[in-house]
Amino acid sequence: MINQIRADFYRQRRSIGMLILLIATMGLGIVTTWRKTPMGPTIGGEELLAIGRQGWTVRTGLQSGVASASSLIYFYIAVFVIVIGAEYSQHTLKNTLTSGISRIQFILGKYATILIDIVLLTLCYFITILITGLALGRNPGVDWGILCKDVAVMTLSVGFCISVIISLGIILLIITKSLIIPAVVIVIWPMLISLVEYAFKWNWLKYFDFPGFGEQIALNTLKADQAWIYAGVSAGVVLVAIFGSALIISKQEI
């Protein structure tokens, strides 16, 4: 599994697609900070605008970046395609699975690679927001220790929550053997959950709004008892996706 992860990162270093993705991610951070407005479908836009009226600081910019995190999904779909989608589009899956790696190691390795990629890209995103805010002459708002803690917490929470949606894409890819269906589901997931919850009044669906989980952490609107439910659902979805994908692929003809 370790060799597979190394091979994936080696391939990514030689891919111009990852460089373009990094530039796009940093560009989103710059635009969000410059405009002082969350971008994309968010649950906390109004709260952030209210905070901003009191004085837009570097910390407010970081919070706005979390509220814009749902837009990162549109970019990170490229990570899904490069890391595991290429195995299907280039028909190299059989070679990988016959090289001595087990099915569960294959899926775990792919998810680990995607998670690391997303966390690193998200870290670059928030660091870009922080540097842009300082370059624009904005007040930090809090001391540097809190800012560094904010960047760490936001990076891990946003990165993990997006990876949960990507894990659903993995199992859909294994089932359908098509990039189109999982790509569409990954992209529309946050909006789809919100629409279904609103239409049918299924309040429990909010726990499947994974980007919304990260937003609530940033805005300090999440109660402790709900945080455990969100975390449990997210971890459960990842485990089901990983082990379910390994089970399904073991039954398929490669």
pLDDT digits (tens, 9 = 90+) for 27-43: 999 998 888 776 665 54
Q: How would you classify residue 203: left for phi > 0, otherwise alpha for psi between -120 and 50, otherwise beta?
A: alpha
Burial 35-51 (b: 16+ CB within 10 A, else e): ebebbbbbbbbebbbeb
Contact 60, 48 (CB under 8 A): yes
Contact 188, 209 (CB under 8 A): no
Greater confidence (232 vs 63) lies with 232
pTM of the model: 0.88
H or E element in which residue 77 lies:
helix 69-80
What's the pLDDT score for residue 39? 66
The model's pLDDT over 145-199, given as tens digits with 9 standing for 90+, comes to: 999 999 998 999 899 999 999 999 999 999 988 889 999 999 888 888 888 888 8
What's the pLDDT score for residue 52? 52
What's the pLDDT score for residue 7? 82
What's the pLDDT score for residue 197? 85
What's the pLDDT score for residue 130? 94
